[in-house]
Amino acid sequence: MTPSTPLQPGRWNDGELPLNVVLGVNTVINGSLAFKRFHSEADRITTVGEHCFIDGVHFSTGKRGRIVIGNYCCFTNVVLLSELEVVIGNYVVIGWNTTIADTDFHPLDPAERILDAIACSPLGKGQPRPKTLTSAVTIEDDVWIGANVTILKGVRIGAGAFIEPGSLVTRNVPAGVRVMGNPAQIIEEPLA
Amino acid sequence: MNALRKLSWDWYDGEIPANVEVDETAYIETTFSFTRYRSQVQGGVTYRKAASTYLGTMFDVGPSGRVVLGNYALVHGARIICDASVEIGDYALISWNVVLMDTYRMPRDPALRRILLEKAALSPNRLAESQEKPRPITIGPNVWIGFDACILPGVTIGEGAVVGARSVVISNVQPFTVVAGNPAKQIRSLPKTASEE
């Protein structure tokens, strides 16, 4: 693309974008399943900034969930699950088959989990579900996340951190470090 | 091989790239596997006798990348990120969501990553070719890799070895052993086959 060509508005190549999703200029989303499980209510706005390439993503949200993504991000086959808020900064790269969730999905307590199973069943239509722990996920600018990584609720990943493929991130990651493992641990301090 | 390089059973409207070599006994479930393929070298992917790839297998192969699937190799949904060489031995069995990568593509320094991402944003395919030095990986013959495992750059997996599901392999695996964990460690030895003297 030459500089004289005006950049196109953001677009999703495989369908009509939900009204509460806003894309910045030159952002491209691919994948027919991208919004298959997008259930955010009208006042919960999901935004993707400018110049992003989001290939094969799942924006899977509950009624109160929302996802905010900055500029110049590049994701491949990422699964984003939000019941509350997932915030991703600028220049973030995420590899194949990585999952980010801001919720536990079901209660920890066994008795409450039975109630949840019933509420989620075909007989549970309209029944309220018991409370499940949710906590926002924040991924700061310049973070690199490899393939097959899992990031759980409440985690904040500091700017410039490098998450090795296959890591399971259960706790905050300081800025600039390199982590790997299950659970993810620091294997390299920030670059000098 | 079909001269048109299309597959009659394919759900995806694509073609097998011209520089991909496919033995007549090999099987490709879908050409969707080549949507990120951009190798410029002959044999960017080579399918040997009765090698097969199934849905979910993706060849994310850069301009100089070369992938070889050995005789009877079965690749059931691996993501192959290759800028130099990924060699898969005869009889290898590779499960779904396995990642085989000979490069990280992106530098460790965030400032350098920004430059690459800004370049990618203006390229027609939205990818910026990496300047990272790739480190080839070799999957030996008769190796079995469980689902969701990651094989990182520079790794060689010896003949007959087994890599447990969800393992992350960062160093070489000895022949006829079982490794598991993140990072992967040897947990067992296996009997050698007749091919070993």
Task: State the ipTM, two decimals.
Answer: 0.91
Using CA atoms, how far apart are residues A126 and A138, in angstroms rounded to an integer? 31
CB atoms A97 and B168 under 8 Å: no
Class of domain A17-103+143-180: mainly beta
Res B144: pLDDT: 98
> How many other C-beta atoms lie within 10 A of the C-beta of residue A95?
27
- The reply to whether B196 touches chain A by the CB within 8 Å rule is no
Model's pTM, two decimal places? Answer: 0.93
**In Å, what is the CA distance from A182 to each residue of A171, A179, B168?**
11, 10, 10
Report domain extents, chain B: 20-151
Average pLDDT over residues B88-97: 97
The pLDDT tens digits for B135-166 are 999 999 999 999 999 999 999 999 999 999 99
Res A2: pLDDT: 53
Res B31: pLDDT: 97
Query: Which 59-98 residues of chain B touch chain A by CB within 8 A?
Result: 79, 81, 97
Average pLDDT over residues B178-189: 97
Using CA atoms, how far apart are residues A178 and A191, in angstroms rounded to an integer? 9
pLDDT for B196 beyond 80: no
pLDDT for B184 beyond 60: yes
Which runs of E-coded beta strand occur in chain B?
Answer: 20-22, 27-28, 45-47, 52-53, 58-61, 66-69, 74-75, 79-82, 85-88, 93-94, 99-101, 137-139, 144-145, 150-151, 156-157, 162-163, 168-169, 177-180, 185-189
Q: For this structure, is A106 an active site residue? A: yes
Comparing CA positions, the residue from B104, B103, B71 lying closest to residue B86 is B103
Average pLDDT over residues B23-44: 96
Comparing CA positions, the residue from B139, B134, B136 lying closest to residue B149 is B139
Closest-CA residue of B relative to A184 is B182
pLDDT for A58 beyond 50: yes
Residue B3 banded pLDDT, cuts 50, 70, 90: low
Residue B128 banded pLDDT, cuts 50, 70, 90: confident
Average pLDDT over residues B172-187: 97
Q: % helix / strand / coil in chain A, to the nearest 5?
A: 5, 30, 65
Using CA atoms, how far apart are residues B6 and B15, in angstroms rounded to an integer? 5
Res B197: pLDDT: 46
Mutant choice from A14, A90, A97 vs B, greatest count of B C-beta within 10 A:
A97
- The reply to whether A53 touches chain B by the CB within 8 Å rule is yes
Mean of the per-residue pLDDT values of chain A: 95
Between B123 and A192, name the one with better pLDDT. B123
Using CA atoms, how far apart are residues A47 and A54, in angstroms rounded to an integer? 12
**Closest approach of A96 to chain B, Cα-based (Å):** 8
Report domain extents, chain A: 17-103+143-180, 105-130
